Each structure stands twice: as structure tokens, then as C-alpha cells.
Structure 1
């Protein structure tokens, strides 16, 4: 392939622009905020799960407390009813009186036991409520942390994208004056050679792969016509000759 020396040199300008775009893309992918957001998201998700579990425990305890209080009320109602029968004097049989008094005593013990259960459940309910409040506060804070990290990321995105848009406009200006066939080869090489399709031959060295050419190899390159598109035998990149090439 042949191309005017000026067009080959323009490849170096294009390569510099493309390398800049690659750097910006890498910078965009490697923002520290990405790791912050990943961690914040993980923390947020874990806290949401904990809040759901705590809310469920709070609800279970509330239902348990309601049931226990109902049990106490049932026993208290029955004891009150028995006490009223006893106080009324309607029961005259000694055996019936003894049985009723025994039942009132049993109900009193049962009520005391159930009230202890209610107190224990109330303590657990209080603990469950506190746990929900604590986790909800932490979840709210994690939301703020996540939003702040996303805000910093988006601000960095905007800054990088603005710079990238300018560099892309510069690229278009340079690329439009490079012959299509030369640009096609350069583009294909960029895809296969780690983003570098053209490299300067500088003082006997390929700046793409850092290979240093022997005097014989350099003389062979020097013997090629100025418009000959030379390729590095080591890395296959387009080797652009300049006044500092030594060839």
C-alpha cells in the first residue's frame, strides 16, 4: 500500500487522539465511585433485607402480644364472674363453695402466669421496635451514601464525556483527510493490536512494540519509497517514518 508521507504522519495525530479517547474511556470505567456504588448498593440491599426481617419479627411479636393479652382478659373475666357468684351468696353448698374458691385461686395463679408472659413479650416487642427503628435509620443513611456516590460518579461522567466529545470532534477533523484505504488498515490494526494501529519509527526503534532495528533492517526501510506504507515486522503496525527515524 502506498500513501502520501503527509497522510502517514497524520496517522500519528489520529493515533494520539484515539489513545486519548481510550484513556478517557478507561478513566470512565475505572472511577473510584464505581466501587463505592457497588459497596453502597450491597449495603443498601443487605439493610433492606434486615429491615424486612425486623418488621416481620415486630409483626409476629405484636400478634403474640395481642393473643397473650386476650388470654389474660379471658382468665380475668372468668375470675371476676366467679368472684361475683361467690360474693352474691347464691351458692350455699359447702362443696360448691370450696370448688368455686379453688377455681378462683387457680385462675388467679393462671392470670399471674399469663401476665408474666405478657411482660416478657412486651420486652421483646420493645426490642423489636427499637431494632426496626435502628435498621430503618441505617437504611436511610445508606440511601444518602448511595445517592452521593452516584452524584459524584455522574459529575465525573459529565466532565469526561464533555472532554471526549471535544476529542471526537478533533478526531473527525483529522480522520476525514486521511485516505479511506489507509484509514481502514489503521482501524483494523487498532482492533487487533491493543488500540495502537500506527507507531512512529524513532531512532531505529518502533514505538509501538519498542523493537530496535538493526542497521541492515533500517537500511531496507530507508530504501523503500517515501510513499510506501511500511509495517513493523515484529508487531505488524504501520511504521511511520519522520525526520527522527534514522531511515
Structure 2
């Protein structure tokens, strides 16, 4: 294949644009914010689960406290009725003894219930502190997630800007090349990643391999407009005074 040496040299500009586009694509796939967001999502889910657990425990304790308070109120109401009956003076000796015994039992029951209630309220107070701590942790995790997402979006926007600009440059540059030369370049790039590179100091700029003597001899004999490719990687080798031929 033949192509004007100046046209071949312009392939290096195209290859530089393609290298930048490849770096943009790689950067887009490997943004550190992506991994950070994945970790933030895991932390967020864990903190959400933790909050649900302590809120469930708090709800259970609140119901227990309410039930205990209701039972204490019932005991107190029963005690008030018994004391009112005693105060009425309308009970006989036998019933009086029974009422006094029942009042003693109710007082002991009320004391036990109040002790249990105090323990429940102390536990609830501790769990309320856990709930506040869990909510603060969740807020912090949500903030971290939002920050990471914001930084990711900014980075992606920057990359998109570069991609758009350089893709437009590439579209204009493609028009400078003969169809057969561009087709060869694109085919090699699709398979090897680099379509063309400078032959510098006898090394292929794509694979960095130094050409052996037989290849160098062939390159010296090749016409200036001959399109040559690296035997190792297939990239079009652009020859200039830097090639060392």
C-alpha cells in the first residue's frame, strides 16, 4: 500500500487523539469514585439495617413500658377501691381482714411492677441513645454517598467534555486520509489497540520492540511512500529522521 509520507505522519496525530480517547474511556471505567460509591452503598445499607434494628427494639420496649404502666394503674385502681371500701366502715370483720390482706398483696405487686418499669425505662433510655447514634451515623453515610456521587458526576462531566471535543477532532482528521489507509489503521487499532506509531531509534513506538537487522534492511530499501507495518504488533510504522534507518 502506498501513501504520501506527509499523510502517514498525520497518522501519528490521529493515533494521539485515539490514545487520549482510550485514556478517557479507561478513566471513565475506573474512576475511584465508583469504588467509593460502592463502599458507601454497603455502609449505607448496613447503617439503615442497624437503625431499623434499634428502632424495632425501641418500639418493643415502648410497648412493654406502656403495658407495665397500664398494669400499675390497674393495681392502683384496685388499691384505691379497697381503701375506699375500708374507709366506708361498711365491711364486716372477716371482709376487713381479707381487704387488709389484699391491700398488702397489691402493695407488694405494685412495688414489683414499679421496679420492673424502672428497669424497662432505663433500657429504653439507653436504646433511645442508640437510635440517636444510629441516625447520626446514617446521616453521615448519606452525606458521604452524596459527596462521592457529586465528585463522580463532576469527573464524568469533565471526561464527557474531553471525549466530545476529541471525537469531533477525530471526525475532522479522518477526512485527511485515503480510505484504504484509514481502513488499515482502524483494523489494526481494533485488534491491537494502537493503529500507528513512530519508528524511533529502530524501535516500534507501539510495542517498543527493536527491529532486527533484516527488518531494518527491508525498511531502508522501502520507498518513502510505502506503508510498512511492525512484524510484531502490526501497527503502521511511520518513518521519520528519528527512525534511525
Q: Normalization by structure 1: what TM-score?
A: 0.90
Match of 1:191 in 2: 190
Three-state SS of the structure 1 residue aligned to 2:243 is coil
How is 1:83-232 mapped onto 2 (pairs within 5 angstroms)? 83-92=83-92, 94-193=93-192, 195-232=193-230
CA distance in 2, matches of 1:159, 1:117: 63
- Residue 24 of structure 1 pairs with residue 15 of structure 2: no
- What is the deviation of 1:66? 0.8
- What is the deviation of 1:138? 2.1
The two structures, once aligned, show a CA RMSD in angstroms of: 1.9
- What is the deviation of 1:231? 1.6
- Residue 68 of structure 1 pairs with residue 32 of structure 2: no
Match of 2:233 among 235, 238, 247: 235
Q: Which moved more, 1:112-121 or 1:1-10?
A: 1-10
- What is the deviation of 1:191? 2.4
**CA shift digits 1:181-222 (9 cap, x unpaired):** 3222222222221x2121222222111112212332211122
- What is the deviation of 1:106? 0.7
Match of 1:14 in 2: 14
CA distance in 1, matches of 2:140, 2:212: 65
**CA shift digits 1:159-194 (9 cap, x unpaired):** 23222322222212211222223222222222221x
Equivalences, count: 245
- Residue 48 of structure 1 pairs with residue 52 of structure 2: no
**Structure 1 stretches of 5 or more lacking a match?**
none
CA distance in 1, matches of 2:199, 2:69: 90
**Structure 2 stretches of 5 or more lacking a match?**
none
- What is the deviation of 1:64? 0.9
